Chain A
Amino acid sequence: MFSRHFLIDKILPIKCLTNIIQYCTISMQMRMIIKFIQGGNMKLDEVITKRIVKIDQINIQGVHRKRLQEMGLIPGKKIYVQKFAPLGNPMEIKINGQSISIRNEEAHLIEVSDAHE
């Protein structure tokens, strides 16, 4: 049926590629999980969904900072990461039992750490 060459030339590289992709995704997830276990800082947009995190620092100034403040997003506050929108951006978080949507770009400037005791 298939020649050896076919296997080596076509199937093998594809298999290799999928393996690499798989490895990358797994390692990314692992890294996040490890980060969580270590309790290290991470950005809000990197958090795996369905988790509670605590805000450590907000690297936004001026008007935009005030917008976050009035919504209750201040350091020390615990938030729940609900989901990402169908196209991957923005994200939905819960704070004080209220759902709020913010963009990943802003979320990236918010440093959080795992809040599961």
Chain B
Amino acid sequence: MPMSNTVALVGNPNCGKTTLFNVLTGSRYSVGNWPGVTVEKKEGKIDENLTLVDLPGIYSLTPFSKKDEEIAEEFLLSDRSDLIVNIVDATNLERNLYLTSQLIETGKPVILALNMIDELDIAGANIDYEKLSELIGVPVVPISALKEQGIDLLVDEIKKRIKYPKNVKWHYSGEIEKYIVDAQKKIEKESIVYKNYPSRFLAIKHLENDHEINDVVDYFDQSQLIELENKIVADRYEHIRLIIEKTFFSDRKFLDDSISDKIDSFLTNKWFGIPIFALVMYLVFQFTFSIGNIFLDIIDGFFSGVIIPGVIGTLTSLGVADWMVSMIGEGIFGGVGAVLTFLPNIIFLFIAIAILEDSGYMSRVAFILDRGLKKIGLSGKAFIPMVIGFGCNIPAIMATRTLRSETDRKISILVNPFMSCGARLPVYVLFVNAFFLKNKALVTYSLYMLGIVIAILMALIFKKTLFKGDTEVFMIELPRYRTPSIKNVSLKVWEQGKAYVQKAGSIILAASVVLWFILNLGPDGMTEMQNSYGAMIGKFIAPIFKPLGFGDWAASLSLLTGIVAKEVVISNMAIIYGLGSSVAEAALEGSVEGFAPTLGAAFNQVSAYAFMVFVLLYTPCIATLAVIKREMNSYKWMWFQMFYQFVVAWIVSFIVYQVGSILFL
């Protein structure tokens, strides 16, 4: 039986690693055009005996309390990895080869996958691959992950190298090599062990002045090390320079004003940069609404006009018990249908965010806003997870791993749920269509902005109270702009849309059934909704919400159950208010009179807005809480998150309702 082997895929952030991983394993993972998309290692199969592990993008093997690099380094040096595929951006050899120099030092066999060769052609440059392979000492395979060129050759090379591994050494100048050998000898003589790192690797790390290694190896003293660190880094870059000089040929000059610079002269312009950003965000929501609503109408008509009457009709004709018909028709199809009705809006929101991510604009947002975010003790990079949070808070919270400072990361996690995720959108769509027909996009935009403002305020408070400490060094790559590829965008939208539908089919389905039961059962068995257990629970907690303007049991119960998943708020309202099938239909007709016996009676414009504010800000869904627990590595923070967001939501809604009532009613 052939042995099973593991190949590690390593490369700089944003060099096409995930794209290559998808091509090699046939998986479908999200790809973006900003550094740090892959935050966890993922596994896939090239064939049955060959496992591929995609590691987070790193610039070097220098773990300084930074999760990504730690994960990468430990995995690479462990017994689990048999071979390293180092993916290299051919258009930026110099920086990419720096990582290569360190990868070679791990002692594992390395293959260089030279990616983006198609872009080289466009730029009028070319590389002498054979020479490159000869100078570095490892096999070089030119590929284009995006266009799926050279992939077969790469797989062949991987298989060949696994059978016949060959260890190489990175070339250092005589002086440096002598220092390395000296340190290595001492390490071997005193049999110093650190994890399971080879002695040469340890010696090199020592020369690099790696603090962790210096605790166990003390061949050189601190003053020597400062000098040596400079020397070894300069030595590597010098060797890289020589390699590039002999292998990379380009007729372009160092300073060629690229298209990206021309785009940037508008998008990060001194005067227009910030207004353009505000406009882009506004357009995203305009897009979500205007186009999303067209489809919303169609789906809603399909559900309320065809599916639900059809199901009820069929069940009745089959002689199913009345309560069963009601449960399936109103409970399941009403609840799940209400959530699915808003799928188009959510899809369009995901499309907009995916386009922003894929184009390279996200990094520019970090660039533009850094100064502002620095004032509240965060960095511009902290804004990327925030924008992703508009789609879903779960990947957003995971994206905070790209922040290097631990305090920045914690604060970013704590305030991320204030970013209004896609699941909260249906609530706005319903209420905005019912109560704010003239200013739909504006009212929704105001909610998103409010979320940002609250997030900023809370970040400021946290920075001043809980987390006093230094801010991370802000350094971010501004990748070249790219026309968002249809493949990448649709992949991402498909993945997130699928998750939304799956949630509708699982959690929300279950919640709808449970809710139907507690709304139709009471102490006396089957009963009217007003006397049900659900109403009792709702009435019990309603006084909490009375000062906020929505103290009726139905709204209270919806909010409570909304902690399961935010979509449940809308599916519950659909069931409770009997909006069921006609929820979006009536909303789209825009007549509050259509809701008169139901929504219109429970809400007015001010309390409707206060309700939306509450939904925006209060306790995040269970899935988000679970991710927070995992990322913060503590239950304490999870409970804190639950509680403090509820308090913040209550206070803000209270102010909105009370002040609004005085001003407008």
Residues of A at under 8 Å CB distance from B? 52, 61-72, 74-78, 80, 82-90, 92, 94, 96-103, 106
Contact = CB atoms under 8 A, between A and B. Distances in A.
The 7 closest A-B pairs by CB, nearest first: A87-B371, A70-B59, A70-B60, A99-B478, A86-B273, A96-B94, A63-B64
23 contacts: A52-B255, A67-B59, A68-B475, A70-B60, A70-B95, A71-B475, A74-B234, A80-B254, A86-B270, A86-B274, A86-B368, A87-B371, A89-B371, A92-B367, A96-B92, A96-B94, A97-B92, A98-B92, A99-B477, A99-B479, A100-B477, A101-B476, A101-B478
Given A74-B234, A87-B371, 15 more contacts: A63-B64, A66-B62, A70-B99, A74-B233, A76-B234, A78-B254, A85-B368, A92-B264, A96-B95, A97-B91, A98-B92, A99-B260, A100-B475, A100-B478, A101-B363
Contacts of B479: 99
Contacts of B368: 85-87
A71 B95 contact: yes
Interface in B455-486: 473-479
A57 to B, nearest CB: 10
B370 interface: yes
A82 B364 CA distance: 14
A67 B473 contact: yes
A86 B270 CA distance: 4
B226 interface: yes
A94 B64 CA distance: 25
Contacts, number: 115
Contacts of B98: 70, 72
B305 interface: no
A85 B475 contact: no
B472 to A, nearest CB: 9
A87 B479 CA distance: 21
Contact of A69 (B64, B233, B273): B233
- Which of B372, B475, B478 counts the most chain A CB atoms within 10 A? B475
Interface in B24-61: 59-60
A52 B254 CA distance: 10
Contacts of A98: 92, 95, 477
Interface of B: 59-60, 62, 64, 91-92, 94-95, 98-99, 208, 211, 226, 229-230, 233-234, 237, 254-255, 260-261, 264, 268-271, 273-274, 363, 366-368, 370-372, 374, 380, 473-479
Nearest to A102: B475
Contacts of A88: 371
A103 B255 contact: no
Contact of B59 (A71, A74, A76): A71
A84 B264 CA distance: 12
Nearest to B238: A76
A102 B59 contact: no
Contact of A103 (B363, B370, B478): B370
B473 to A, nearest CB: 5
A97 B98 CA distance: 15
B370 A90 contact: yes
A72 B101 CA distance: 13
